[in-house]
Amino acid sequence: MLDSVDNVLIDCDGVIWRGDQAIPGSPDVINLLKKNGKKVFFVTNNSTKTRKMYADKLALMGFNATDDDVFGMAYCSAMYLKKVSKLQGKVYLIGSNAMRQELEKVGIQQTGVGPDPISGVQMDWANVPLDPEVKTVVVGFDEHFSYMKLNRALQYLNNPDCLLVGTNTDTRLPLEGGKAVPGTGCILKAVETAAQRQAQTVGKPNHFTYDCVASQFGLDSARCLMVVDRLDTDILLGSNCGLKTLLTLTGVSTVADAEAHQESGCPERVGMVPDYYVESIAELLPALQG
């Protein structure tokens, strides 16, 4: 299988690390893939880091990677706004400092990062001061998300010409021991509910995530493998784009989940069945060392 691909698109959380812990053996696998002449790209729905922050995190864990190999949602959203939305005007950004940096890097002006300045102040909420240059609301992971931010997004989106773009729809971020915390999908759902419209989303399973990598590096989809831990976002993207797909069982989805999709016979669910699965990415080691 590895001989039939030139490019490997790697999902991060649940595949090569869990939070700040590398999955044992994953740096060796990635470095050997590169040594064997494969191009390796890191594709994550997480919008809280810039490409540089990811490259630094990868280097600290022992992976060979450069900024250009990383496709996180802070960067991909900036590309989406430029290339797909053909953005004009400013962005009202519900998101992180990293998102602000990636947007600014490509010349997109934004407002909104950090705690809302009038949160908690008793005032006429339907008439909060708005920036007349804002033409798009962008929603990513925001630890300062608040009622006031939700309200402000709604006031911008009351203008039917104002676009709504979300980084990704992951609703829960799984942690060790069966624990979980709310993901960006929860924040996005709140904004969509208030504004009574659906956002365009950038991250997996949207085709754009793959297109972003493919257009920059001239990838042939028939010679690409995606290695991921989640069926409903990642495997779906891989099958929609005609990539080979490999599920690792170190993250969200299980073999039983994949079997349930397979047995459903439902065309949308069959697209969530991986071509291959392994317990951990480390299982690729013998094939690469041999």
Instruction: Go through the chain and tell me how many residues it has.
Output: 290
List 5, 9, 11, 77, residue binding ligand PLP (CB under 6 A)? 11
**Residue 77 interacts with ligand PLP (CB under 6 A): yes or no:** no
Toward ligand PLP, which CB reaches closer, 12 or 164? 12
CB 234 within 8 A of CB 263: no
H/E segment holding residue 258: helix 255-264
* Alpha-carbon span 176 to 161, nearest angstrom: 43
Single out the residue of 54, 60, 18, 69 nearest to residue 175, CA to CA.
Answer: 18
Establish whether 116 is a catalytic residue. Answer: no
**Residue 253 interacts with ligand PLP (CB under 6 A): yes or no:** no
The listed partner (Ca ion, ligand PLP, none) that binds 173, CB under 5 to 8 Å by sort, is ligand PLP
Site residues (CB under 6 A) for ligand PLP, limited to 28-47? 44-46
List 170, 253, 261, 281, residue binding ligand PLP (CB under 6 A)? 170
**Residue 232 interacts with ligand PLP (CB under 6 A): yes or no:** no
**Residue 170 interacts with Ca ion (CB under 5 A): yes or no:** no
**Residue 141 interacts with ligand PLP (CB under 6 A): yes or no:** yes
Toward ligand PLP, which CB reaches closer, 38 or 57? 57
Residue with tokens 């990383």: 70
Q: Helices then strands (H, E): number in the chain? A: 11, 15
Establish whether 257 is a catalytic residue. Answer: no
Helix, strand, coil shares of the chain, percent, nearest 5, are 40, 20, 40
Q: What is the CA radius of gyration of the chain?
A: 20
Catalogue the active-site residues. Answer: 11, 13
- Interface residues with ligand PLP (CB under 6 A) are 11-14, 44-46, 48, 141, 170, 173, 183-184
